[in-house]
Structure 1
Amino acid sequence: MDGGSGLNIIYAETLNAMGIDRSRIQPTVVPFHGIVPKKQVMPLRQIDLPVTFGNLTNYRIETLTFEVVGLHGTYHAILGCPCYVKFKAIPNYTYLKLKMLGPRGVITVSTCFQRAYECEVECCEHDAAIVASKDLATIREIIEEVPDPKWLARSFEPVEDAKEVLIRP
């Protein structure tokens, strides 16, 4: 669950493991923004997949669009805001629960704190492996780009032709 993500992301490795037919994958020309500071990342492709939450007696199925990425990740997929909107789901990060309305009541998806901790440790180990790899120099070049100093020093000032408008006359 990633409430800050504007995308649903699935890794190419996950699609391979699922045996998804490549003819279902569609080309895309829309880049990601905000994943790497000041850079855009192009996904490999997009795919529409049915996603099911619930059990045999109370479930929901919706088709979600996923951006397919060739990066290595510690998860199988990342569900972002588009997923929550489509399912009208409410995530609670404190209790590690995702709730949505099903045909026979509330569907609750949850995990245990131990599993969440193990995932966090795995993510940290993955990040440490990247830091130790030869890709670190490339990542540092991207991150260490310094913004224009004029932009940083600028204070908030209206443009020359700005017109003053009273909000509450």
Structure 2
Amino acid sequence: MNMISPEVIKRLQMPEEELKKTGIFQRINPGRSQPKGKNTLLVMFGGELNYRTEKIVFDVVKVPFLFNGIISRPTFAKFMAASHYAYDTLKMPGPMGVITINSDKKDLVICVDKLYREAMAVESVKTKGPAKERKRQKPGKTSS
């Protein structure tokens, strides 16, 4: 499933009437999500001379994204792209050789920091229950 946020659709100046109706889906965020619709967009990887373009169907969903959208594995397969997580690069064949997409380290650090802060906030809410106090014994004393 390819997802994109409604904010991106607004920036692309696409009218909401162009969105096609779609069904409810689960397991993306807590509970069920009702997408605003779906639309086919042209996605391009590469530069001026060496590029690949494919038509990709995106579901427009209002969920808290760290990024502008999410591209699924079948979409990467359509581009015949291979990702290397250690180097944060994406490579795919192009008409004039290999297209290499490097990640933006600054954006990556911002997203990881935001994800860490959100995870810590959730963890602190989980652990705020009543704390049980343990009775401490003085050293050298036994309970019997």
Task: Work out whether the TM-score is over 0.5.
Answer: yes
Q: Secondary structure at the match of 1:85?
A: helix
Contact 1:8 1:67 in 2 (8 A): yes
Bigger radius of gyration: 2
Q: How many Å separate the matches in 1 of 2:3 and 2:95?
A: 27
Q: Does 1:34 align with 2:19?
A: no
How far is the alpha carbon of 1:34 from its aligned partner? 2.8
Q: How does 1:120-131 map to 2 (within 5 A)?
A: 120-125=112-117, 127=118, 131=122
How far is the alpha carbon of 1:42 from its aligned partner? 2.8
Moved over 6 A (4+): none
TM value normalised by structure 1: 0.64
Contact 2:84 2:90 in 1 (8 A): yes
Unpaired runs of 5+ residues, structure 2, are 126-144
Q: How does 1:23-102 map to 2 (within 5 A)?
A: 23-29=17-23, 31-36=24-29, 39-102=31-94
What RMSD over aligned residues (CA atoms) do the two structures have, in Å?
2.5
Contact 1:8 1:82 in 2 (8 A): no
1:97-137 CA distance string (max 9 Å, x none): 11111111110111144431221112334x36985xxxx9x
1:17-52 CA distance string (max 9 Å, x none): 2212323211002x3333246x44332211110000
Q: How many Å separate the matches in 1 of 2:75 and 2:69?
A: 12
Q: How many Å separate the matches in 1 of 2:19 and 2:101?
A: 28
Q: Secondary structure at the match of 2:65?
A: coil
Identify which of 1, 9, 34 aligns with 2:3: 9
**Given the superposition, is the C-alpha separation of residues 129 and 76 from structure 1 closer, same or farther in structure 2, using an over 3 Å criterion?**
farther
**Given the superposition, is the C-alpha separation of residues 15 and 111 from structure 1 closer, same or farther in structure 2, using an over 3 Å criterion?**
same
Q: Secondary structure at the match of 2:8?
A: helix
Q: How does 1:143-162 map to 2 (within 5 A)?
A: none
Q: How many Å separate the matches in 1 of 2:45 and 2:82?
A: 13
- The count of residues paired between Structure 1 and Structure 2 equals 124
**Given the superposition, is the C-alpha separation of residues 119 and 36 from structure 1 closer, same or farther in structure 2, using an over 3 Å criterion?**
closer
Letter in 2 for 1:11: S
TM value normalised by structure 2: 0.74
Unpaired runs of 5+ residues, structure 1, are 1-6, 137-169
Q: Percent identity?
A: 31
Contact 1:45 1:67 in 2 (8 A): yes
